Amino acid sequence: MEVIYGLIPGMLLLGLVAVGVLFWAARSGQFDDLEGDAHRILMDEDDKPDPRRFPDADEERSERDDSSG
């Protein structure tokens, strides 16, 4: 029974730390783009994007190819 007097404050402290980490993550932008990585992994870099939809993509691709070697 005496153990519970140490466990209750410990669990309250642990809960407050968890809430603090959650708020820190939300403020630092960890949850801003939840679906970007899921879509990005499916995109193939070899495919050329539609120039009507992405007009600057050809310029970026040529700059990246020139700088790679």
| pLDDT tens for each residue of the chain, 69 residues long | 889 999 999 999 999 999 999 999 999 988 888 787 777 777 776 666 666 766 665 555 555 555 654
DSSP type of residue 48:
P
Phi, psi of 9 (to 5 degrees): -60, -35
Nearest of 40, 37, 39, 57 to residue 48 by alpha carbon: 57
DSSP type of residue 1:
-
Which pLDDT score, from 0 to 100, does residue 67 have? Answer: 60
The CA–CA distances, whole Å, from 36 to 1, 24, 33, 64 equal 50, 21, 6, 21
**Cα–Cα–Cα angle for 43, 47, 33, rounded to 5 degrees:** 25
